[in-house]
Amino acid sequence: MRLRRQHERIIFRAISANVAISRTQLAELTGLSGQSVGRVARTLLGSGLVEETEIARSKGPGASPIGLRVRPAGAFSLGFGLERDYLSGVALDLGGNIRWQMSRHLAEGETAENTLRLLEQDIRSLLRAPEWSARRDRLCGVGVAAPGPLDVTTRTIVGPPNFPSWEHVDVAKELGRAFDLPVLIDNAATAAAIGIAWRLPHGHRPYLYCYWGIGIGGGLVIGDDVYRGTTGNAIEIGHIVVNPGGRLCECGNVGCLETEASVRALLRDAAPYGRFRTLTEMMTAARTTPEVAALVTSAAEKMAAALVSVLNVVDVDEVVLGGEHLDEVEEVFVPIIRDHIEHRAFRRRIAPTTVSVSDIGEIANAMGAAAMVFHTLLPDGLPVRDRPEAPFG
């Protein structure tokens, strides 16, 4: 049974990583026998997770070969991104298409109890809708992306900076009890890195993801896996020390990137030059106030220095920047980060590093949380398709 499940996962991931792939190609790619591939293919087709499709063939006589591809309506997942100032949510189908989306701002200091209540209301409202109640048996589970640090053994947040009411809150237990669904929790930036992978072309290169906003975090994606470290708290870019004589960080260290160059840090440092309630107001002032503009440039340079340090350790071809607030500072941050990586990264004389900006903004964490459900739970746990599904509408 265990070996069969392992083969199903291997084959399913190989199909997911391609637009369409033949059984022969699957056998060559995975090293499994044609008999094993055929048996697993029948199981996946019966579950409704994959479907058959024609594959374009090279010139010559004969019919086009039949391949396998992921069936978008074969499974759905819900993902929620929990940040210090907002909550985002998506429903994702197996093809990576967003079927539902929400976002709400949270008041500073919003309690865990109240946020979980709002999240539960959003899920109940969605599942009551006719198009979703008819698909309840195709819903794999719920993913939640939360600020770290996380204790993966207890599935709780431990000592989160600027997030005090969430200490040791068992999000998975609370939501799982309410909906009788598997609930997974992961570090927000790690989950966002998975979400980015769903938007990239098949066969994407390994990349480093950096989230910038109220907090700063990162994720490392290699192949179809994200590197989490032994405790689930890897690539904490926000807690790289960029100013040894700087401010005390909520994590207990001094001069961390997050306390020197985040949205919160910028608003704090710009306070002597005006009463800025939002980053938007501060960036407007930066156009006419040199001191404020200098603060933004300094934050960008600290971000760039931290990313060069991480890049020198992980050595990947691409750095992807994202976050709800990044678009407001993009025109300053991105050129400086690109310049630092181009001229200071250790690998620069051997191969260039691409710096790109994610196009999914504030829902990256939620998308990653939903994709994490697929990545972790499939192909286990879904019933065989036994009835046609009504179209969305």
pLDDT at residue 218, as a whole number: 92
For 388, the 3-state DSSP assignment is coil
pLDDT at residue 251, as a whole number: 86
Superfamily of domain 203-358: ATPase, nucleotide binding domain (3.30.420.40)
* Backbone torsions φ then ψ of 383, nearest 5 degrees: -75, 160
What tokens does 197 get?
């992978």
- The domain defined by 75-193+366-377 folds into Nucleotidyltransferase; domain 5 (3.30.420)
- The domain defined by 2-70 folds into Arc Repressor Mutant, subunit A (1.10.10)
- Of 341, 359, 352, 343, residue with least CA distance to 317: 352
pLDDT at residue 392, as a whole number: 55
> What is the full DSSP assignment across 129-189?
SHHHHTTGGGEEEEEEEE-S-EETTTTEE-S-TT-GGGTT--HHHHHHHHHSS-EEEEEHH
CB 73 within 8 A of CB 83: no
Q: Quick check: do 2-70 and 75-193+366-377 share a fold?
A: no
pLDDT at residue 304, as a whole number: 98
Angle in degrees, CA 188, 240, 307, rounded to 5: 80
| Rounded Cα distance, 321 and 197, in Å | 13
| Rounded Cα distance, 66 and 22, in Å | 6
pLDDT at residue 161, as a whole number: 67
Q: Compute CA distances 296 → 245, 263, 270, whole Å.
A: 19, 10, 9
pLDDT at residue 267, as a whole number: 97
pLDDT at residue 156, as a whole number: 81
CB 340 within 8 A of CB 303: no
pLDDT at residue 173, as a whole number: 81
Q: What is the pLDDT along the chain (393 residues), one digit of tens a residue?
A: 778 888 888 898 888 878 889 999 999 988 999 999 999 999 999 999 999 998 876 665 656 788 999 999 999 999 998 877 788 899 999 988 899 999 888 877 788 888 888 889 989 999 899 888 888 889 999 999 887 788 877 778 887 766 777 788 888 887 877 788 889 988 888 888 888 877 665 556 889 999 998 889 999 988 767 888 888 888 999 999 999 999 999 888 999 999 999 999 999 999 999 999 999 999 999 999 999 999 999 999 999 999 999 999 999 999 999 988 899 999 999 999 999 999 999 999 999 999 999 877 778 889 889 988 988 888 765 555 554 555 554
Q: Spell out the domain ranges in the chain.
A: 2-70, 75-193+366-377, 203-358
